[in-house]
Homo-oligomer: A and B are copies of this chain.
Amino acid sequence: MTELDKVKSIINQLEANPTDLYNNSFFITWRYPKETVNAVLLVAEALQRLNRAGKSVKVFDTGLGLSIFRDNSTRTRYSFKSACNMLGLGTEELNESTSQIAHGETVRETAAMISFLTEVIGIRDDMFIGEGHRYQKEVSDSIQESYEAGVLPQRTSVVNLQCDLDHPTQCLADLSHIIEHFGGVENLRGKKVAMTWAYSPSYGKPLSVPQGVIGLMSRFGMDVSLAYPEGYDLLGEPVEAAKKFSAETGGTFTVTHDMAEAFKDADVVYPKSWAPFTVMEERTKLLRSGRMAEFKELEQNALKQNATHMDWECTEELMKLTRGGKALYCHCLPADISDVSCEHGECAASVFERYRLATYAEAAHKPFVIAAMILLTRFQNPCSVLTQLLERDRERRIVR
């Protein structure tokens, strides 16, 4: 089957996965029906295959994609801009230091001001528990209000480029990679995925990746094993979602405080550091009230606490415990690699090196996942759109 034959088959599957994303925003995977998640995966795959076949996937003649990054980013920033570019949108980045966005009145106003000719706004806001999603929702609601009042000619979408709860573009890229690795979504059933905490010399890494992973992977009949040292709990909502999804799809969801137990017979391992939820909550409170001395103390304690779990490292010994010693190693990058980027980190150098190019391929799905979210939120009939992209005579390169 050629790439283009596969796209035809994807379009057929997509017919069975209608979504209510049109003229809406994309926030948190576990709050959407399974069909919506499937639709994003399918459209992303179709776009990636069309791109590989040299096809142009431009759908807009003009229009803008805006990004707001409240935290540093290379991978997601670049993926968002690539997604916009492939669909035909120009990109702009809102620099809040020169633009004064805050909460309340200012959000409503700014959301309108930047949306007049904008198709999509991508937002990363992951630093404060209880705030990131709320802010994205506020922008989206403000757009909805202006759209309904006729101020905006189109209902600009908001796409979650990481919030305090979920990191959907990352986790759906991870999942796309896993699906590709196992040769199809139907092969995920019964596979064991170990989402485990790992030691990092830094502190305060967001919880959105592990939360997103368990809230997503549990929907495909997989055996999801979540492992972390005591005290590093995740938020309740994604954990409850994972339990429910596992029960519904015939998989399992287990929590352990033993890294080796999670690795045992795993088909996929995702060892990655995060901060304890309670620490992140306390951190938010202290930063908000400007109690910097207590904040510094919290930080020191968190680092000390981390350091007692230095043995949570993805070593060759642990990898040997996985199914056939050959589990797929996943990471959202950048990883803290022992003896490479730090003295002790999340992963041993030899393990990482073996999977290094695979993690790049994992990341390569992200621009297409984001493009899929844009396409599904902006177009009412995605099957029709993909069919036209497939059939029209338009290449990425205009001349040869």
A397 is an interface residue with CB less than 8 A from chain B: yes
In the complex, the answer to whether B52 meets A62 with C-beta atoms within 8 Å is: no
A360 is an interface residue with CB less than 8 A from chain B: yes
CB distance from A368 to the nearest CB of B (A): 9
What chain B residues lie within 8 Å of A59 (beta carbons)? 397-399
Contact of A397 among B56, B60, B109 (CB under 8 A): B60
In the complex, the answer to whether A109 meets B395 with C-beta atoms within 8 Å is: no
Give CA–CA (A52, B100) in the complex, Å: 29
What chain B residues lie within 8 Å of A340 (beta carbons)? 104-105
Q: Which residue of B lies closest to A92 (CB)?
A: B81
Give CA–CA (A108, B363) in the complex, Å: 14
Within 8 A of B (CB), among A146-165: 146, 149-153
Give CA–CA (A277, B385) in the complex, Å: 57
Chain A interface size range: 35 or more
In the complex, the answer to whether B51 meets A78 with C-beta atoms within 8 Å is: no
Q: Which residue of B lies closest to A365 (CB)?
A: B116
In the complex, the answer to whether B146 meets A357 with C-beta atoms within 8 Å is: yes
Interface string of A271-307 (1 = CB under 8 A from B): 0000000000000000000000000000000000000
Within 8 A of B (CB), among A226-243: none
Contact of A99 among B74, B98, B381, B389 (CB under 8 A): B74
In the complex, the answer to whether A388 meets B397 with C-beta atoms within 8 Å is: no
In the complex, the answer to whether B105 meets A74 with C-beta atoms within 8 Å is: no
What chain B residues lie within 8 Å of A58 (beta carbons)? 61-62, 398
What chain B residues lie within 8 Å of A94 (beta carbons)? 74
A396 is an interface residue with CB less than 8 A from chain B: yes
CB distance from A2 to the nearest CB of B (A): 15
If the complex has contacts A81-B92, A88-B62, A153-B52, are A334 and B75 also in contact, measured as CB distance less than 8 A? Answer: no
What chain B residues lie within 8 Å of A100 (beta carbons)? 72, 74, 334
What chain B residues lie within 8 Å of A51 (beta carbons)? 117, 153
Give CA–CA (A146, B77) in the complex, Å: 20
In the complex, the answer to whether B109 meets A78 with C-beta atoms within 8 Å is: no
Give CA–CA (A138, B345) in the complex, Å: 25
A178 is an interface residue with CB less than 8 A from chain B: no
CB distance from A146 to the nearest CB of B (A): 6
Q: Which of A73, A116, A118, A357 has the most CB of B within 10 A?
A: A116
Give CA–CA (A60, B400) in the complex, Å: 10
CB distance from A376 to the nearest CB of B (A): 14
A325 is an interface residue with CB less than 8 A from chain B: no
A18 is an interface residue with CB less than 8 A from chain B: no
Give CA–CA (A57, B153) in the complex, Å: 15
Interface string of A104-121 (1 = CB under 8 A from B): 111011101110111000
In the complex, the answer to whether B88 meets A91 with C-beta atoms within 8 Å is: no
Interface string of A64-84 (1 = CB under 8 A from B): 100001001111011101100
Q: Which residue of B lies closest to A110 (CB)?
A: B74
A201 is an interface residue with CB less than 8 A from chain B: no
Give CA–CA (A100, B72) in the complex, Å: 9
23 A/B residue pairs, CB under 8 Å, sorted by A: A51-B117, A51-B153, A57-B62, A58-B398, A60-B396, A61-B394, A61-B398, A62-B87, A81-B92, A82-B118, A90-B90, A105-B337, A105-B341, A106-B334, A109-B334, A112-B360, A116-B364, A117-B367, A146-B360, A149-B357, A151-B357, A379-B397, A381-B400
Contact surface of A with B, Cβ cutoff 8 Å: 51-52, 56-64, 69, 72-75, 77-79, 81-82, 85-88, 90-92, 94, 98-101, 104-106, 108-110, 112-114, 116-118, 145-146, 149-153, 333-334, 337, 340-341, 356-357, 360-361, 363-364, 367, 379, 381, 384-385, 388-389, 392, 394-400
8 smallest beta-carbon distances between A and B, as pairs: A82-B117, A56-B61, A74-B99, A112-B360, A388-B399, A85-B90, A151-B360, A149-B357
